[in-house]
Amino acid sequence: MKFGKLGSLLGRKKNADISTASNEPQVVAPAVEAQKKPEPIKQTPTPPPIAEENETMQLDQDKPITDQSSLEATEQELSMEDDDDERIVVADFSKEQVALSEQRLMEFTRNCAGVYGAIISTVDGHSVAQALKRDIPANKISTMTSSLLALGESIARESEQRFCQFVILDNSNGRVVSLRINDILMLTCISTKDSNLGMLLSSGRSTADALSEILR
């Protein structure tokens, strides 16, 4: 299965097929955000390219969708939500790789005190996978943190410094830390003030390194 479509689905639709124990962090996708998203222009959704259609079919066969109408509705919803530009096409990971990554994210949120969200996204702002204990808009955060990380790296370059390790937002009641996983992926960790910053950075770094191995 192609990672591209899965990434889109994970990011944009409820992952109802992923079972989680009650004490596990819920893997929540920002469906609400996607629905709220204003569409300034009304245009007939263009059908995705044939190759992408095939990918969708494969993906939907993997998902527990029971009838053809649900499948069509899913496809239509996807194309209504975003245009083809918004589909990830570069990365190509297996379902197993993505499942392992999510498992790693859940471990991170469980083991690091105060952390209530971890998001893997592409460096150009597409949400890929996430483990969230609160209902926060992962898509939006993915896009915004991609801007922030890029700005951080630019500021480092302009300041004649190299290799931006973390971009840290230290807020009155929490922290947001973004860091690179590799050339095309990044990790964002969201925590309350209960976390220890040093722990958060160190644990975030090791999670990113582990993810880098998984998502080779």
List residues binding another protein (CB under 8 A). 40-41, 43, 46, 82, 84-91, 122-126, 139-140, 143-144, 146-148, 150-151, 153-154, 158, 183-184
Q: Which is nearer to another protein, 1 or 150 (CB)?
A: 150
Stated as kind and residue range, the H or E segment containing 106 is helix 95-111
Residue 82: CB minimum distance to another protein, A: 8
Nearer CB in complex with another protein: 44/69: 44
CB of 84 to another protein, least distance (A): 5
Strand order in the sheet with 127-132: 127-132, 115-122, 185-192, 174-180, 167-171
d(CA 169, CA 31): 25
Nearer to another protein, 110 or 140 (CB): 140
Nearer of residues 57 and 151 to another protein, judged by Cβ: 151
**185-192 and 174-180 beta bridge pairing:** antiparallel
Task: Quote the least distance from Cβ 97 to another protein, whole Å.
Answer: 15
> CA–CA separation, 171 vs 145, rounded Å?
15
C-alpha span between 26 and 80 (Å, rounded): 26
